[in-house]
Each structure stands twice: as C-alpha cells, then as structure tokens.
Structure 1
Amino acid sequence: MSFLLVFGLWGAASPALGQALVPYTPQLDATQLEQQGLSLAQEAAQLAQFQQFEMALPRARLATQLAPKSYQSWFLLGGLYLQTNKLNESIAALQKARALEPKNASILFALGSAHFQQEKYDAAAQNIQAGLQLKPNDPEGLFDLGNAYYKLGRLPDAIAQYNKAVAGEKKFWPAINNIGLIKYEQGDIAAAMKQWQAALAIEKQAAEPQLAMAVALYTRGERERGLKMGEAALRIDSRYGDLEFLEQNLWGNRLLADTKKFLETPRIQATLQERQNQPTPMQVVPQ
C-alpha cells in the first residue's frame, strides 16, 4: 500500500522538482499514551494474579515508559521484580513509586520485603516502620516487622509485633506460629507447642505448625504421635521436608537440629519419597 495512502495524503499535490518530501510524523497524545500504559499495567496485574510473572514483566516495563508519572505502574513493576527475585531492580522501581507517592504504606512495606530478602534487616525494619506510621494497625506490616526484629535478634520486640498483628487479625496464624518458633529457640518447648496448637486451631491444614508440633512431640519422647503428625504435615506440603526451606521460613538452629533428626527417620523418609514425584500444593495463606 502507498505510504501516502496510509497516512491520508492520497490526492495531495505532488512536490515540485527538487522539493524535499518531509516525512509525516503522527502526533501522539500524551494522555492517550498514559491511558495505554495504565491499561498495560492492568493486564500485567491480571497475569500476576495467575503467577504468570514472566509474561507480566514486559507489560509492566512498557507501562512505566508510557505512564512514567504513574506510581501504580512503578509499584506493580517493583512487585513483579520482587516476585521473580530480581531484588535490585525491585528496589529501584519501588523507590520511583515512593518518590511519586511518598505517603503510600504499601510501597514502604514492599521495600521492606525486598530489603529483607537481601538480608538487610535494618533497612527492612526502617521501611516497614515508616509504613506502619502511615498504616499503624496493618497485620501484615506488623508481622513483617516482627520477622525483621527476629532476624536482628530482638526477640521480645518480635513477639510484641506478632501479638499486635494477632490483635488486629485474630485468625492471623503465621504470627502465632512464629511466636512458637521463638519460644522453641528460647528452650520453652511447652510454650512453643501451645502457640502451634493455637495456630492449628485456626488453620488445620497449615503444614508448618503441624510439622513443628510433630518435631516437638518426637523430641519429647512421644514418637508415634509425632511421626503420625509429621507424615500428615508433609502430605500437605512436602517443601517443609527441606531444611533450607525451613531456615528461609525462620526456623532457628535448635528446631532445625531436632527437625534434621526427625526427617532422617525411616517413616518420614518414606513419606518424602512418596511425595517426591507429586505436584507441590499451593501454600496455605491467611485470609
């Protein structure tokens, strides 16, 4: 098709001999581009809901180019980078989002999460604290701050934040579970088990407190009961049979040492072997 016809110039007078033909450049509307960018960001967010992160990322990157003044686009991009473990890129995008929208607590919580994954726990705590100044009773923010304090060795402060999270959301079992992790490291196994029982009363299919309870029971001499509970926990989610995964989930040295012995028992090894070639279920998350 003719270049002239494409751009609506068909029938225009031919240029005089020697006259330069100036190429036609369509004028693009900035508002329209921004709307296209936000539309792409929405597509990326929908893909992210189905964990299609690699498909979502190019759309999110283009969205920030088309709508560079939209904090939502940068926030989404930072979140996608965080999900795909591109932590430096995540922090850079989230900082741009924060510059555009400095009073958004969710951006600060996301920055805290990125720094936490980098094992920069002081920076994580600072960002989460800043977010909590804007949104003081956010259970997930309080939980994340508790985790940062836990990694910094500030155990009483960690427990205080976990308790605040539960006060705001009674069914927030991960916070209850993590209090149990701390109690176990402090040598108070009975108190730890009480916390894990409370977590399981809220979410019976939560593999983490169920396995922790199993290890505690086995270590205390209730071996049959512990093995049975451990088998059930690993059938829910076999990832908890991996010590490295447990360490990432804040299991401390004392509990890890006892869990190592527990996982080496023939019955638990058989359960892990049984689950090895089966798909891993979705992790249970608090609602």
Structure 2
Amino acid sequence: FIWGDKPGALADLQKASDLIKKEGNQFLYQEVQNAIKFVENPASASQQVLIEPFNQAIARNPNDANAYFYRGGGYYLQGDKQNALADITKATEINPKFSVAWVAQGDIFRELGKFTEARNSYDRAIKANSQWGNVSPSVAYAYRGLTNLVLGNTQAANADINQALQLDPKNAVAYGFLGMSLQYQKDYPRAIAAYEKAISLDAKLSPAINNLGLVKYELGDVAGAIRQFQRAININNTSAETQLALAVALYKQGQQDRGIAMAQAALRLDKRWGDIKFIKQQLWGDRLIADTQKLLANPKIR
C-alpha cells in the first residue's frame, strides 16, 4: 500500500484475514480488519491502528525487524517521515538482508532530498537481494536509476533503468524514468516514446503525463502540452509544478488572467516554483523557462 498498490494490499490483507479467521485468533483478526478499513479509507487511520500493535510487538521483542518496519510505515502514512526513517533504519540494522526495508529507507531519503543517501539505500537493497516482500527488485533498480540521474550520473542511471525494465518489462515507473533521462539529454522523440509507454502501462502516472507535456512544450506544441498538463492535474491537483506549467502555457496563448490566477495558486502550494534558479534545476526546457520568466515578471504575481 505504501508503494501505491491499493488493490494488491487489499487482496493480501483479505487472504490474511480469511486464514486468521479459520485459526480462531480473534485479536489478530480484528487488527487485520482494522488494516483493511485503513487501506480502504486512509483518512480513518488512528494511532491505535497504525502504531500501537507494533509498539506492543517491539515491547515483546526489541529485535523484531518486521515490527520496526511496519511501525515506520505507520509513521510514514501519518506524514511523520523522521520517525518513519528512524524505525525503518532500525529494521535494516537488525536485519541487513531486509531488501524491502532498504528500499523504503531510500524512498524516504529521496523525498527528503538526500539523494546520495537514497542511492546508498537502493544499493544495499540490491546487494542484499532477499526479503523483498511485495516489492520487485525492479523497483530498487528504477529508483537507483532516478537518484543517479539526479546526481548527474546519466550512464549509471541508464544502466539501472534498463536493468529495471529487463526484470519487469511492465514497470511503468521505470519507463517514466527512462523518459526523464532521455529528456535530460534532449532526445525528445525517444523521451516521448518512453513516456507514452509508461502511460499505456499506468494511465494515472501523472509525473509521466506532466513530463510529456514539458517535452511537447519544448517542441512548440503548446496546445498539446496544455492537454497533458490538464490531464495530469485531473489525476493530481496538488502538483505545483504542473499547475505552474499549465499557467505558463495559458499565459503564452493569451489567456493572461487565467494564467496569472493559476500561477498564484501554484505558488501557494509551493513557493519554490517562483524561483527561476529552482526551476532550472528541474527538467524544464529553455522555451518553457523563458516563458515562465515572462509570467513571473507580471506585477500581479507578487
């Protein structure tokens, strides 16, 4: 569930529930039922459901790596990344062969902007190569590829992404990262092909849809870019990047009031997108950056 596979999580929990019910363990059965309710409706989560069962498990066995891992997942779902990182790190210390925990640690480091640490975590997951849980090794290669790309090692990034796709040819995220690598190299036709493949595998992969819009904009297809940005926003309306990109495209087309209003909304979500230096660190191309500067120079934005 933490990696976005809600149907898979529900299926696994239901199987566990059926088995536990047959065994007659009412306490554990109720805990699994609580977990099912949470996956169905994360807003219903409580400290009792996410944290307390694992507090009890750790109290019974302070060396229970699984309990630390799952409690870390609970903290993560509550938005507490620091405690999540501490618990998942503890799980890897207790059990260095816990590949899925190394992947989770890498994901949190990456979200915190600590890309070198994230790459090291994915390295450890791949080297351990055991206890992957429901996570494919392809995921570790794909995200190590992403961190290598961010750290400027394009050759290593491409090798990792290609390995991810060899392990799982249906890894939509890996195709998305391949598109990013090709986009970074300004190989736009192949980047478009990679993004379209990613989207064909996962129609709700909004980052790939957003990036497809970025490429189309650089190629001068502003109308096509707008369609992709709007499509991405329909899936995820909290992305400041996509909202600002759409704002720039609308402004470019002469819809100034609408563009300004959307840019203001984007900056309320994340003010970093008002800084051209920050934008240049992203995958935005020269054409879009130049047009963004024109929009941000409008006195109504400030």
Could you state the TM-score of these two structures normalised by the residue count of structure 1? 0.71
Gaps of 5+ in 1: 1-31, 270-287
Deviations for 1:29-83, whole angstroms, at most 9, x for unmatched residues?
xxx9896122222222322333423323333333223212222333333333333
Match for residue 174 of structure 2 among 135, 141, 146: 141
Match for residue 95 of structure 1 among 123, 133, 150: 123
Conserved in 2, the CA contact under 8 Å of 1:122 and 1:148? no
Match for residue 288 of structure 2 among 231, 255, 262: 255
Alignment correspondent of 1:60:
88
| 1:260 Cα offset (Å) | 1.0
Conserved in 1, the CA contact under 8 Å of 2:244 and 2:266? yes
CA distance in structure 1 between the aligned counterparts of 2:282 and 2:120, rounded to whole angstroms:
26
Counterpart of 1:149 in structure 2: which amino acid?
Answer: L
Alignment correspondent of 2:9:
none
Alignment correspondent of 1:216:
249
Counterpart of 1:53 in structure 2: which amino acid?
Answer: K
CA change 1:91–1:230 in 2 (3 A) is closer
> Higher relative contact order at CA 8 Å, sep ≥6: structure 1 or structure 2?
1
- In the TM superposition, 1:33-182 aligns within 5 A as 36-101=64-129, 104-182=137-215
| 1:144 Cα offset (Å) | 1.5
The structure with more radius of gyration = 1
Q: How many residues align?
A: 238
| 1:206 Cα offset (Å) | 5.0
The 10-residue stretch of structure 1 (131-140 or 206-215) with the greater mean CA deviation from structure 2: 206-215
4+ long deviations beyond 6 Å: none
Conserved in 1, the CA contact under 8 Å of 2:138 and 2:171? no
The 10-residue stretch of structure 1 (154-163 or 40-49) with the greater mean CA deviation from structure 2: 40-49
| 1:184 Cα offset (Å) | 1.7
CA change 1:49–1:114 in 2 (3 A) is farther
Counterpart of 1:161 in structure 2: which amino acid?
Answer: A
Higher helix content, 1 or 2: 2
CA change 1:202–1:110 in 2 (3 A) is closer
CA distance in structure 1 between the aligned counterparts of 2:83 and 2:266, rounded to whole angstroms:
33
| 1:235 Cα offset (Å) | 4.6
CA distance in structure 2 between the aligned counterparts of 1:215 and 1:95, rounded to whole angstroms:
39
CA distance in structure 2 between the aligned counterparts of 1:135 and 1:217, rounded to whole angstroms:
38
Conserved in 2, the CA contact under 8 Å of 1:34 and 1:66? no
C-alpha RMSD of matched pairs (Å)? 2.8
Alignment correspondent of 1:264:
297
CA change 1:77–1:171 in 2 (3 A) is closer
CA change 1:80–1:197 in 2 (3 A) is closer
CA change 1:176–1:79 in 2 (3 A) is closer
Match for residue 196 of structure 1 among 223, 229, 233: 229
CA distance in structure 2 between the aligned counterparts of 1:172 and 1:219, rounded to whole angstroms:
26
The 10-residue stretch of structure 1 (93-102 or 175-184) with the greater mean CA deviation from structure 2: 93-102
Could you state the TM-score of these two structures normalised by the residue count of structure 2? 0.68
Alignment correspondent of 1:29:
none
The 10-residue stretch of structure 1 (90-99 or 126-135) with the greater mean CA deviation from structure 2: 90-99
| 1:151 Cα offset (Å) | 0.8
Counterpart of 1:251 in structure 2: which amino acid?
Answer: W
Counterpart secondary structure, 2:300: helix
CA change 1:66–1:223 in 2 (3 A) is closer
Counterpart secondary structure, 2:74: helix
Taking only the aligned residue pairs, the percentage that are identical comes to 35
Conserved in 2, the CA contact under 8 Å of 1:34 and 1:67? no
